[in-house]
Amino acid sequence: MSVTYETHTHDVLVIGAGGAGLRAAIEVSAQGLSVGLVCKSLLGKAHTVMAEGGAAAALGNVDPQDGWQTHFKDTMKGGKFMNNWRMAELHAKQAPDRINELQQWGAVFDRTKDGKISQRAFGGHTYKRLAHVGDRTGLEMIRTLQDKGVHSGIDVYMECTVSQLLKDGDGRVNGAFGYWRESGRFVVFNAKAVILATGGTGKAWKITSNSWEYTGDGQTLAYDAGADLLDMEFIQFHPTGMVWPPGVRGILVTEGVRGEGGILRNKDGKRFMFDYLPPETKHTFAETEEECERWVKATLANEQTDARRPPELSTRDNVAKAIYYEVQAGRGSPHGGVFLDISYQDADRIKRKLPSMYHQFKELADVDITKQPMEVGPTMHYTMGGIRVNPETQMTAVPGLFAAGECAAGLHGANRLGGNSLSDLVVFGRLAGLGAVEFAKSVEGTPKADEAQVKAAAQELLAPFERTGEGPYEVHRDLQEVMQHKVGIMRTEEDLQKALVELDAIEQRVAKVSVEGSIQFNPGWHLAQDLKNMIVVSKAVAKCALERRESRGGHTRVDFPNYDEKLANVNALIRKGEDGSMQYRTEATPEMPPELKKLFEEEKK
């Protein structure tokens, strides 16, 4: 078979055009190198567009006591100290500059009374820290980056899927192979460095807030190229997804609702979150409904208060588990969730602060959130685990390959705080850009793709057309069932063992999937490709979840409900072995330097 394809050559190739990819590409361009930016959807439609609540940065505009140290501590505590401390430090220190920079590029954040960027409360953040625009912060960010990007000389390849990374004889990444979704034609990108910014992997689960794009592509591309995947067991189940009607099940209800004072109640009207606060953080939350009320009042008036925040603002892992237990105990709402109520507040303010939630419920569920409570329940939302990177440069274990945003790991540890992702994208997107520029400058000559690799990649892509058998949608449904029920929010040894066996069987089926129709814009064919990635990531999650015999953050083992001190300082790593099998190993978490450790000791005094 002779393969025809088009070729594009850049110094740096960025795969993924969400916040992380765009910010990286802007940086590469600003440093004077040529950059190509590839994405599976149209430009501006990446997940970042859906982010609602806000971006965390210790600007101190509303709570002047805030500073990077508190943000750092909150992030480490939220992540149960599984985070890479250096990433958490860089993030906390640099996020304010990145938010200011967005403003200087045209982002219009909501304002405080004295004209500064407004900030709202979110789970796990000690202070009001989330820069926001109503409940469409992600849209504001991606549009700002997109508009900045199109005037920065970036070449954008949209609706183009990368299916394989290419390497040179020395094991360095030197490009990528992919196809245009529209025509099915092949394309080869030559590059001196490649940045992965492909986002998460939620489509492996049945109930998820994620779109069709989240199929673990970056993680799989990196894994196949020889990089490490870190702590894959840490999956975030967001506590509040819609539970009804069935067609919208899983769609996100922003944590902004709780940030604005939304109250969680069970079917008996009980405000149950008071009962689920972990002992170590209990003292930082309000003790009574009356104290909550004072906090809400001050928040609405944009004033300081000595009242502590409501228990609904505990971290996501706690809230999601609390809801799960309430439903299990038979105290759930009619459609298997619990109630989230903001209707006690002024209707106009709700519509102004949470406009898209208002419309989402009104139009999709016939619920007026200014008059009635919402019904909510957990939904698969975010992958804390992902590609291991060097915290300073964002380079992976493979020379020339970088990663940033949700597909990379390290910042969030065992549980991500809401709002820390949007700031993650701009902080580490920029650092990945700088890292890739530095690397690309050290590469001599022009990169050139190896014909044999290209040919193999093309053959693999077209194979489903030559097979007859099961279609990709059936296999995908079965994969989602396994992950939802056996590698979900509550896990057991038995389920995980079974899941691994079933995933092996599904992997066999994925290898035989057949598709019909032409190669022109064919979603069935696209899914057949995506399935190959979802199965890799699913196996990695199940394997790590089986090995971590304790409960920590987003990972809950019913059979090992407590922290295990032996695992407190252990990261999980997945790598592809020489024989193609999935290898698991552990490594001690990097030790925090004394000056950062001191921050936690001071607190205890």
| Active site residues per annotation | 238, 258
Sequential DSSP letters for 405-426: GGGEESSSTTSPPTTHHHHHHH
Q: Does 48 bind ligand FAD (CB under 6 A)?
A: yes
The three-state secondary structure class of 296 is: helix
Q: Does 421 bind ligand FAD (CB under 6 A)?
A: yes
Name the minimum Å distance from CB 466 to another protein.
16
Name the minimum Å distance from CB 365 to another protein.
7
Of 364, 315, 386, 406, which is closest to residue 123 (Cα–Cα)? 315
Name the minimum Å distance from CB 349 to another protein.
13
Please give the helix or strand (H or E) that residue 457 lies within, else none. Answer: helix 451-466
Of 478, 394, 383, which is closest to residue 430 (Cα–Cα)? 394
User: Given 3-state DSSP classes, what are the helix, strand and coil percentages for the chain, each rounded to the nearest 5?
Assistant: 40, 20, 40
User: Kind of pairing, strands 570-576 and 582-588?
Assistant: antiparallel
Q: Does 517 bind another protein (CB under 8 A)?
A: yes
Q: Dihedral, CA atoms, 203, 427, 260, 376, nearest 10 degrees?
A: 10
**Dihedral of alpha carbons 211, 216, 217, 219, sign:** positive
Q: Does 386 bind ligand FAD (CB under 6 A)?
A: no
Q: Does 412 bind ligand FAD (CB under 6 A)?
A: no
Distance CA(487)–CA(506), nearest Å, equals 15
Q: Which of 29, 33, 40, 412 binds ligand FAD (CB under 6 A)?
A: 40
Q: Which of 525, 544, 556, 572 binds another protein (CB under 8 A)?
A: 525
175-195: b (≥16 Cβ within 10 Å) or e: bbbbbbbeebebbbbbbbbbb
Site for ligand FAD in 238-267 (CB under 6 A): 252, 254
Q: Which does 161 bind (CB under 5 to 8 A by kind): ligand FAD, another protein, none?
A: ligand FAD
Q: Does 46 bind ligand FAD (CB under 6 A)?
A: yes
Q: Which of 2, 115, 371, 601 binds another protein (CB under 8 A)?
A: 115
Segment interacting with another protein (CB under 8 A) among 40-48, 437-445, 447-455, 588-596: 40-48
Q: Does 67 bind another protein (CB under 8 A)?
A: no
Q: Which does 517 bind (CB under 5 to 8 A by kind): ligand FAD, another protein, none?
A: another protein
Site for another protein in 437-496 (CB under 8 A): 471-473, 476-477, 480
Distance CA(208)–CA(484), nearest Å, equals 9
CA distances from 406 to 124, 234, 410 (A): 19, 12, 10
Name the minimum Å distance from CB 503 to ligand FAD.
21
Q: What backbone phi and psi angles, to 5 degrees, belong to 471?
A: -85, 165
Distance CA(80)–CA(78), nearest Å, equals 5
Distance CA(255)–CA(418), nearest Å, equals 7
Distance CA(603)–CA(605), nearest Å, equals 5
Q: Which is nearer to ligand FAD, 40 or 557 (CB)?
A: 40
Q: Does 38 bind another protein (CB under 8 A)?
A: no
Site for another protein in 225-284 (CB under 8 A): 244-252
Number of residues that bind ligand FAD (CB under 6 A): 42
Segment interacting with another protein (CB under 8 A) among 138-146, 321-329, 435-443, 558-566: 138-146
Q: Which of 26, 34, 35, 54 binds ligand FAD (CB under 6 A)?
A: 54
Site for ligand FAD in 135-154 (CB under 6 A): 137-138
Q: Which is nearer to ligand FAD, 16 or 239 (CB)?
A: 16
Q: Does 215 bind another protein (CB under 8 A)?
A: no
- Name the site residues for ligand FAD (rule: CB under 6 A): 15-21, 38-41, 46-48, 50-55, 137-138, 161-162, 197-199, 209-210, 213, 217, 252, 254, 382, 405-406, 418-422, 425
